[in-house]
Structure 1
Amino acid sequence: MFLEGFVTGMIFFLTPGGRCEEMEVIAEMGSKAVLPCRCGIKRCDPAAITWTKAGKGTVWRRQTSGLQYWGSNWVEGGTQRVRCPHSAFVHGDYGLQINSVKVEDGGVYSCRVVVGGHITGRQVMLRVIQGKKQNSQLTTFCQYQTKLARKLKMTTTDVFSLVSISPSSPMWGDSMSATCSVTPWPNGASVKWMVNNRPLWSQPRSTSNKPGSVVKERATEKVAGNWTCVFNHKKEARTTAVLSVRGIVQPPKDDTKVYAAVGSPMTLPCVFSPDLNPTSTVFEKTGVGKTLAFSRSLQTSSDASVPIQEVTSEDQGKYRCAGTVQGRRLARTMQLVVAKIIQSKKKGSVGLTCQLSDASEVTKYEWVHATYDLNGTKSDGPILKEQTIYPEHGGEWTCQYYGKEGFLGNVTTQVLTQLISSQSGQKPSNKGVVIGLSVLLVILLLILAQTYKNHQRRKRVFRYPAMETIVHTVSNEREEKEKSRVKA
């Protein structure tokens, strides 16, 4: 099967005459190719044009009178495979259009344009590849440097794939080959293969005078994905194709982690390629020898997954699914990671911790508080990015956990509003007790201070009894005088 890709045109540089003497065009077998050729002077029409191929003679020829001739090898069933669009002649464009390109069409073509006494020559290398035509474009270009300093000229053809895969859809464990071919293969060309953006070889391999680069591998999940052929010959051309390996497609590889929340339903995946009908399927928990029951409707299809109605903490661990396809035993292992939320109390606060049975692939946590209005409309509050939080509000709290490649799973819990309120209400009552005791202590200290002052005053007075008598007498006399004044 040929897969999609793209190829870019490759350029040879200019000679001192200011005209592009050579260039390369890459086209796919069965497609249309355009070999560029332009007149080297300002006024080119009428002109005599001759296209030839090295070793094959004339391909197409047109005289100044307008008569055209085709080589015998370029006519099939009365239809010419080559032509030069007359509408482009007025612009000095005498490009040769080849329809239904064949592998043997590859080679060196020469264009000769004669206008009066002026002769312009061009050479174009056509390289033919085997692939599937795609809906994209290949642009080949040649920079013309004439005395008039003409602008960049462009010639456009279709874009094609360089890569072919055999067999077209290999089974897991089969031998497969990938071919990157161009005809004719240029001397000194190098090819580097990339699989999922990683080099297949540590260094590019030089493959001179060979029809293509062939890679043979064993079809496994490691080679499934994007295959890129990097073809380098003076300029680089890349094409990427997708290789799918038939077998167990879900989980995509061994030891895949599957995440689920405690109390929620989930399905342990074991899905074969759609065209496969496995037999003797088995799903078991490794280490304990526990075999899981299949749904009868699933056993007769390519889906051998096992549903779990309600996940518990005991369900965590490693599982293995297997089935026989075309006499070959295929198996895949996976790990079920169970997530739950642990509630705790610390210093009068309620804590929520997002706990996973295996958090080795988790890179961050996010907590979301959901609230509902009277109409049942849900709204999310601010996101908290910690594994453990101490919420100030009750209700629905969801922990979402993420890995390097994005979202992994989530787990939800309900926090009682009364619990949050009671815990938060304890804080102001404790403060009130402390404040009350502090005020009482201050009052007691003031009373003690005043009592101490009175005691000290009495001690000073008792040292002089006569003084106390005099003071008492004077006080009595003053009171008597005031009474007498009132009576008078």
Structure 2
Amino acid sequence: MLVEIVLFGGIFLLTTGARCEMTEVTAEAGSQVVLPCKCEIPQCDPAAITWSKDNKGTVWRKQSSGLQYLGSSWFQKGSSRVRCPHSDFVKGKYSLEINDVKVEDGGLYKCKVEFKGRVIEKEIMLRVLQVSFSPSAPMLGDVVSVQCTMSPWPEGAVVNWMVNSIPYEPKNSVIKNQSGRLIKEKALEELAGNWTCFIHKSKNVWKATAQLSFRGIIQPSKDNIKLYAALGSPFTMPCMFSPGISPTWAMVEKLDSEFSPMFKNRSVSTSPSDKSIIIEEVQPENEGKYRCTGIVKTQTLTRSMQLVVAKVVKSKKRGSVMLSCQLSDSSEVTDYEWVHVTYDINGTKSVGSILHGPTITVEDNWGEWTCRYFGKSGLLGNVTTQAYLMAGLSGEKSSAASSNTGTVIGLSFLLVILLLILAQMYKNHQRRKRILQYPALETIVHTISNEREELEKNRVKN
């Protein structure tokens, strides 16, 4: 018996050697995965390489001469989904790249390396994970199936779910199996977003994520959202449905007023899925709650929103102007930022100092000021005003008042002189009129006047 063992060992060492190693790789469906295969023998290239999959034959093969072959089932739209990078061959690396991994790609793969009569075999278990929905884009209110798949499935594994990084608590769901791989749930807004399944077995944990979106009203993006608009500016009240949805009836209505100025404004688009309305110029009465409503087939879809109106209130102080940023609802505002903007003679815009707070006092930096207000998620909106208008008016009023006083005095003086001249002209006219009534008297007056002139001339000559 001992002789047989020694003889068998000698034969094994003298003949072709073979080793087989097992590696496990996981990938999400739709991604790219690399199945490792390395020849540790120095100067392994050129070697004959064969990649195969259990029950599906050859995936990729290269002869030592360099000729390559590809399995027919690995073509997609005229191109191959698998390849081995040639640049790695000289390093003894013959890893297989698989693009656009599918659930059915999961399984056991073998890499066989043949070099100078030696054979090295490696096994790679590829597990493909996927979270899928059926239907893929359900309508709000419909029933949707959520499934966690892993191919091949590890026996005895259990699934936990998270929705938007929050542990999933079944509400209206029906869990189809004990492992939790399949769930049926009513399509509600709070369930939209990222679904992540965690597959647990012993100390191993695998996870896969997919995004669930519902068809219906996509703008506004969520119910009871606050929208911000500057007083006097145009604004679009959103009411947009998913592409491909054409509601048989839809409207935007104001909820807290019997009369809605919205209905005086025009629609934004002629698209059957866009029923948004544009307010040409936002007024204080536009502030309030609105509702976008549409009927799709037999289902009524609604989404509420609130329009918050922002304005800048200016109050004059001695030599300065106080600017106050006021919103009809500031409950979501966490910070106010004032930005000073100036323009040179060429119209080039430059941003100056930045101040914080809902109210600021402007003394020297006249011009354009923009109030930007922020919430927890970032910028909510902005409103712009011209600070120099009020400051300029205060100076113009005083100079205009003094100018007007001088003008009035000058005009009054000229009027008095004009009246005196008219009075004197009237007196002369009356006197001449009286003299013309007595021709003899007029002759006497002229004779006396002529004599006086002669006497004056003679006196000057003497």
TM-score normalised by L of structure 2? 0.62
Partner in structure 1 of residue 216 of structure 2: 247
Tell me, yes or no, if structure 1 residue 416 matches structure 2 residue 416.
Answer: no
CA distance in 2, matches of 1:267, 1:99: 43
**TM-superposed deviation, 1:379:** 3.1
Q: Which of 395, 404, 413 is residue 376 of structure 2 equivalent to?
A: 404
Tell me, yes or no, if structure 1 residue 222 matches structure 2 residue 196.
Answer: no
Q: Which of 310, 316, 336 is residue 281 of structure 2 equivalent to?
A: 310
Structure 2 counterpart of 1:417, one-letter code:
A
Tell me, yes or no, if structure 1 residue 339 matches structure 2 residue 307.
Answer: no
**TM-superposed deviation, 1:392:** 0.5
CA distance in 2, matches of 1:74, 1:376: 65
Structure 2 counterpart of 1:326, one-letter code:
K
**TM-superposed deviation, 1:360:** 0.8
CA distance in 1, matches of 2:83, 2:391: 83
Cα offsets for 1:148-180 (capped at 9, x unmatched): xxxxxxxxxxxxxx2322212211222223333
Tell me the SS of whatever aligns to 1:173.
Answer: coil
Change (3 A) 1:424 1:176: farther
Partner in structure 2 of residue 287 of structure 1: 256
Across the aligned residues of Structure 1 and Structure 2, the Cα RMSD in angstroms comes to 4.9
**TM-superposed deviation, 1:183:** 1.2
Tell me the SS of whatever aligns to 1:416.
Answer: helix
Structure 1 counterpart of 2:218, one-letter code:
V
> Does structure 2 retain, via aligned residues, the 8 Å contact 1:188–1:208?
no
Partner in structure 2 of residue 140 of structure 1: none
CA distance in 1, matches of 2:60, 2:352: 78
**TM-superposed deviation, 1:388:** 0.9
**TM-superposed deviation, 1:221:** 3.2
Cα offsets for 1:447-476 (capped at 9, x unmatched): xxxxxxxxxxxxxxxxxxxxxxxxxxxxxx
Structure 2 counterparts to residues 133-144 of structure 1, below 5 A: none
**TM-superposed deviation, 1:249:** 0.9
Change (3 A) 1:171 1:424: farther
Tell me, yes or no, if structure 1 residue 365 matches structure 2 residue 339.
Answer: no
Change (3 A) 1:98 1:397: closer
> Does structure 2 retain, via aligned residues, the 8 Å contact 1:192–1:201?
no
Partner in structure 1 of residue 231 of structure 2: 262
Give identity over the alignment, percent.
53
**TM-superposed deviation, 1:243:** 2.8
**TM-superposed deviation, 1:262:** 1.7
CA distance in 1, matches of 2:56, 2:346: 85
> Does structure 2 retain, via aligned residues, the 8 Å contact 1:60–1:83?
no
Change (3 A) 1:188 1:265: same
* Greater relative CO (CA pairs within 8 A, separation 6+): 1
Partner in structure 2 of residue 273 of structure 1: 242
Tell me, yes or no, if structure 1 residue 185 matches structure 2 residue 153.
Answer: yes
**TM-superposed deviation, 1:356:** 0.5
Structure 2 counterparts to residues 223-238 of structure 1, below 5 A: 223-231=191-199, 237-238=206-207
> Does structure 2 retain, via aligned residues, the 8 Å contact 1:321–1:331?
yes
Change (3 A) 1:58 1:314: closer
> Does structure 1 retain, via aligned residues, the 8 Å contact 2:267–2:276?
no
Unmatched segments (≥5 aa) in structure 2: 1-18, 76-80, 171-175, 400-462
Structure 2 counterparts to residues 142-221 of structure 1, below 5 A: 162-200=130-168, 213-221=181-189
Tell me the SS of whatever aligns to 1:314.
Answer: helix
Partner in structure 2 of residue 450 of structure 1: none
**TM-superposed deviation, 1:398:** 2.2
Tell me how many residue pairs correspond in the alignment.
363
TM-score normalised by L of structure 1? 0.59
Partner in structure 1 of residue 358 of structure 2: 387
Structure 2 counterpart of 1:379, one-letter code:
S
Cα offsets for 1:381-413 (capped at 9, x unmatched): 211112111110343332221112222222222
CA distance in 1, matches of 2:384, 2:109: 71
Unmatched segments (≥5 aa) in structure 1: 1-18, 130-161, 426-488
CA distance in 1, matches of 2:391, 2:83: 83
Structure 2 counterpart of 1:283, one-letter code:
V
**TM-superposed deviation, 1:288:** 2.6
